[in-house]
Structure 1
Amino acid sequence: MSLRVTFLGTGGAVPTTERAPSALFVNREGDRLLFDCAEGTQRQMMRFGTGFGIDHLFVSHLHGDHVLGIPGLIQTLDFNERDAPLTIHCPPNTRTDLDDLVHAVGHDPGFPIRFDVVAPDEVALDGEGYEVRAFETEHHTRSQGYVLEESDRPGRFDRPAAEALGVPVGPKFGRLHAGEPVEATDGTVVDPEQVVGPPRPGRKVVYTADTRPRERTVAVAADADLLVHDATFADDMADRARKTAHSTGREAGSVAERAGAKRLALVHVSSRYAGDASAIRRDARETFDGDCFVPDDGYRIEVPFPDAGEEPETEE
């Protein structure tokens, strides 16, 4: 079951020729989710081949570099004759402004736009085998991040043990794996715990958007397979980070280390690092022992299951 993350926009408030502002696309086994939608996001979606088939847009806050792409994306969807609803999940007290933004140029979408106001610690999307929850972040406006977390999966099925207990090969294997006791060929009852291992964890992807480092993020990102964290500045700009309510690479690395995250993506890179963002990654690596990277626009990562026993696969 695939879980692919595409970084559509990795830059800060000021776009550069290398980096567009914030937008993150997640495809979980055909469920297509968009987190933030800066200006030009619809072009990034075409450029990097994600397609427009999203059903859910998650807005972190109302700063322009996170939402100004919404009117353009909606018009593009309309021009493509979309008729399916689009749900926009947003923080409390932002619905009216977002509704005004959708209609800012007098365009009335030909498909339903649904607004879902979700407070921190509430479930924004209850999907099949996963959910997306909001969590509070710290910025200069009402803001929140989102965590996509999958449900536990059934434990591994021990086929030799099942056969040794007299369970005939066939549908009863599947019933046992699904948690249902079955009858063996000699009439004895075989319970699932006899042949099925302990539940296996699903995957977790955490997106902070713009934020100062917070203990709440550490808690939410515990054992995350991928943490996408604000890292606007290198550490020599720490005072600027505090003044603007952003994070440095070092601070993002510290959050990831304390959370036990497996992988850290450093995003919202300031335009002052347009030519070289290596200082941000270097600072993060001083506080985080895991795998960390500064993705370029269009970078994709396939997030593996925690028990996959292999390194995460990436592709350009």
Structure 2
Amino acid sequence: MLRIIFLGTGGSLPTRNRNPSAVMVNREGELILFDCGEGTQQQMMRAKTGMMNLSSIFVSHFHADHFLGIPGLIQTMSFMGRKEPLLIYGPEGTIEFTELFKALGYFNLKYEVQGIQLKPGDVVEREEYVIRALKTEHSISSLGYALIENPRPGRFNRERAIELGIPPGPLFAKLQKGNMVEVNGKLVKSEDVMGTLRPGRTIVYSGDTRPCEPILEASRDADVLIHDGSFADEMADWAEESKHSTAGEVAALAKEAEVRTLILTHISSRYTDDAEPLLTDAKKVFEKVIIAEDLMEIEVPYRSK
């Protein structure tokens, strides 16, 4: 399972239908947050995501609409009896901000909260995937992130294994795990019966940024690109001045990168009642685009090849 839950899709200011930025990824039951704006824990409750399996929060930058939800969330989890550590990753200032989060109020946390500062190019390695920090272009120190799953094993050729004299059973499993087996004095390698490696899935989260080369390169052939799409194209001058992106600019990036799906988020409060101008501008350039809505969920399937 790889599910994306949009907990907050608004830009800068909350509106009646959009919370500030927060995107959750549920990967095989492990919860990962990208940004955590004000009210995120309530959105988690509304979406019924749970909290206690949250392993990490990746903060794109320290503008308030991207981190104000962290203090309340970490205290709620402590109140609920959390014991497992929580890791907070982010750009310059992450360690100092994490200490501030922990110090707020008169409530002693019952678990460890650790801040870890990343630089562009740094890689957080997990057992079955990595998260790569990406340089972005915003008005303060900022990062985007790419969640990249490890390649999957190729398909097991059962007929070929039987031809090679391997009986169905435990030896099949060993070959599927990459091990060599011996049958009747003959060695059979895993690659003799396994197809070529199949790609895992890739999700790229831009945070607040202008369209930029590191996001473009990380997004090439990505399954999902979640990108700052704050403004319609008519606001291009303001987007450039404020270091955000227009829908058309992001669509052009997604087209060049050949992403499978583009999702625009961080929607300006100008479009509270109607985000159709953003969709119209984007679809002039790139068809496979969605405007994120609060509590929207999407599943990211494996590719057939």
Q: How many residues align?
A: 304
* 1:296 Cα deviation after fit: 1.0
Report the Cα distance in structure 1 between the residues aligned to 2:92 and 2:173, rounded to whole angstroms: 44
Matched with 1:211 is 209
Residue segments in structure 2 that go unaligned for 5+ positions in a row = none
Identify the match of residue 292 of structure 2 among 282, 295, 305: 295
Distance in 2 between residues matched to 1:148 and 1:52, nearest whole Å: 20
Residue 311 (structure 1) aligns with: none
Aligned with 2:272 (options 241, 258, 274): 274
SS at 2:245 equivalent: coil
Q: Provide the residue aligned with 1:172 in structure 2.
A: 171
TM-score normalized by the length of structure 2: 0.96
Q: How many angstroms apart in 2 are the aligned matches of 1:174 and 1:81?
A: 39
1:55 corresponds to which residue? Answer: 55
Instruction: State the partner residue of 2:80.
Output: 80
Give the AA of the match of 1:298: L
Identify the residue that residue 70 of structure 2 maps to in structure 1: 70
Percent of residue pairs bearing the same amino acid type: 46
Letter in 2 for 1:265: I
Q: For residue 144 of structure 2, give the secondary structure of its aligned residue in structure 1.
A: strand
Supply the distance in 2 between the matched residues of 1:94 and 1:176 (Cα, whole angstroms): 44
Aligned-partner SS, 1:55 = strand
More deviation in 241-250 or 76-85?
A: 76-85
How far is the alpha carbon of 1:74 from its aligned partner? 1.5
1:229 aligned counterpart, secondary structure: strand
Partner Cα separation in structure 1 for residue 114 and residue 94 of structure 2: 13
* SS of structure 1 residue aligned to 2:10: coil
- Bigger shift: residues 149-158 or 70-79: 70-79
Q: Contact 1:225/1:263 (CA < 8 Å) preserved in 2? A: yes
User: Which residue pairs with 1:34 in the alignment?
Assistant: 33
1:234 corresponds to which residue? 232
**CA distance in structure 2 between the aligned counterparts of 1:300 and 1:94, rounded to whole angstroms:** 28
More displaced stretch, 71-80 vs 217-226: 71-80
Give the Cα–Cα distance (whole angstroms) in 1 for the partners of residues 191 and 51 of structure 2.
43
- CA distance in 2: counterparts of 1:148 and 1:216, whole angstroms: 14
| Equivalent-residue separation in structure 2 for 1:106 and 1:246 (angstroms) | 37
- Equivalent residue, structure 1, for 2:250: 252
2:301 is equivalent to residue 304 of structure 1: yes
SS state at 1:16 partner:
coil
2:262 is paired with a residue whose SS is strand
Query: Which stretch of structure 1 is more off in the superposition, 274-283 or 58-67?
Result: 274-283
Q: CA deviation at 1:293?
A: 0.3
Q: Which residue of 1 aligns with 2:3?
A: 4
- The residue number in structure 2 matching 1:223 is 221
**Runs of 4+ displaced beyond 3 Å:** 104-108
Q: How many Å apart are 1:107 and its aligned residue? A: 4.0
Match of 1:285 in 2: 283
- TM-score w.r.t. length of structure 1: 0.92
Q: Deviations over 1:163-191 (max 9, x none)?
A: 1221111111111222222233x543322
Superposed CA RMSD in Å reads: 1.4
Query: Aligned partners of 1:160 and 1:42: how far apart in 2?
Result: 51
The one of 255, 260, 263 aligned to 2:261:
263
SS at match of 1:142: coil
**1:41-190 correspondence runs (5 A):** 41-53=40-52, 54-124=54-124, 126-184=125-183, 186-190=184-188
Hey, what's the Cα distance between the residues in 2 that align with 1:260 and 1:99?
A: 40
Tell me which residue corresponds to 1:312: none
Instruction: Give the CA deviation at 1:110.
Output: 2.7
2:123, 2:131 within 8 Å by CA — same for their partners in 1?
yes
Alpha-carbon distance in 1 for matches of 2:117, 2:215: 21
Structure 1's unaligned 5+ residue stretches are: 309-316
